[in-house]
Chains A and B, each alone.
Chain A
Amino acid sequence: MRALWPGLRAIIIKDIVVELRARQVLPTMVVLGMLIVFILRMAAEPGSTTIGGAVMGVAALWIAFLFSGLLAQERSFAAEQQNGCMDGLLLAPLDAGTIYLAKLLANVIMLTIFEVIVVPIAVISFNLHIAGGWLRLVAVLLLGNLGISSIGTLFSAAVQLTRTRGSLLSIVVLVILMPMMIPATFALLVLFGAMPEEAQNLASVRGSGTLTFVGSFKAAIGYMLAFDAVFVVASWLLFGVVVEE
């Protein structure tokens, strides 16, 4: 652990400093996220029920996270392609897994900054009422953030050098994240009051629908934790295979 920390910290600080000086991706992410929120806001008419607004708000939030996250993840290794920076990183006396963890944490930090800006905007524009409490909202967002970033960071390194970098990364990441979006959507629906906390008790919805199969808010958190753990550990172990020349 002590050997891991200096390298980890150096790469994270490098990525954050580069971003602060060049401001390449964070402004784009934020504007893209706001655009997604506002475009989906058009569909949630004021005349529609509050439930409809909450459902659209949840959709807007996850879509914004997924696509803005993709922007950050794609940049995180695209920036290393110039001037042979990737070779420099790989030549550093670090385990490949450490490079992955550092890049992952840098992406998580970027997406967290993004969430701090965009979540309040979405809450205001969809007039969302946070029934479940702020703390639980933050927990769900962070778990989603980690899952999105873990897969994105791994495959960002893989799709560099391809002509269709961004679009290829997006389909690879979205298809892997698709199962995780089920509990993630459920959890946010519960927090915004559009879904009862224990969906199992609803006789009318029992037995059909993917969201109700998640069952309860606790189960949704459990599923997300499981996905995060699987994604992070598998990516950490397999990253060396991806970047090896």
Chain B
Amino acid sequence: MRRLLFALAFILLVASTWIGLTQGQIVPVQRNILYAHVPNSVCALLCFVVLLVASIGYLIAGRQAWDLAAVASAEAGLVFATILNATGMLFSRAEWNVWWTASPRLVTSAILWFLYAVYLILRASLPGSQYRRARICAVFGIIAFLDVPLVFVSARFIPDIHRPNFSFDSPWQSAALMLGMAGAAILAAALIWLRTSLLRSGVELENQLRQ
């Protein structure tokens, strides 16, 4: 089932790239990066939503599966946020001739990356029982999420050098983007699933070794 998801994501992403590079090309050429950039940015945010839901779930239910899902989504989120910022910087250099500028959207993307990074560092540094560690990480996840929307929501409604709405002139272009979105979302789900089960195996192994 998981392999199927990875295969599906791969096919969708290849199809998106194929259409984007053939029928759906955008002029000037550097704007084609949006086929990679937009799906990744959506996934970076989706992972944060998963992180929030898993954190709340852990605090309510106290089941370890929630905690592992939160870590897995933070790890996946860090990957997507890294790609988001890297592709964004490439585009920015080509389009605006600077690698980075303090535009609201760029700042919030950087903050997103930092939040994921600090979540994982916090998790790695907390000693003591796994319950205490999981609780503290859940608290950080919730506070971080409360912190971010205020910024993201306000960033949507302000004039920005970063274009929020693109108008496509051919259905091929929107098809390529939609395929990319679907592929990246499935990839994110598969990655979170894979990491959750790997983490669970790690915990089970530890428990067996301890006995």
Contacts and interface: CB of A to CB of B under 8 A. Distances in A.
Interface of A: 151, 154-155, 158-159, 161-164, 168, 171-172, 175-176, 178-180, 182, 206-211, 213, 223, 226-227, 230-231, 234-235, 238, 241-242, 244-245
Interface string B133-156: 001101110111011101100110
A176 B144 contact: yes
Nearest to A244: B135
Interface of B: 59, 101-104, 107-108, 111, 114-115, 118, 121-122, 125-128, 132, 135-136, 138-140, 142-144, 146-148, 150-151, 154-155, 158-161
B126 A162 contact: yes
Contacts of B142: 234, 238
Contacts of B138: 241
In this complex, which of B102, B147, B150, B155 has the most chain A Cβ atoms within 10 angstroms of its Cβ?
B147
A230 B155 contact: no
B119 to A, nearest CB: 9
8 contacts: A154-B139, A154-B143, A155-B140, A162-B125, A209-B103, A223-B150, A223-B154, A226-B150
A168 B101 contact: no
Nearest to B115: A175
Main secondary structure of the interface of A (DSSP, over half): helix
A179 B102 CA distance: 13
A242 B107 contact: no
Given A178-B111, A209-B103, A213-B158, A162 B143 contact: no
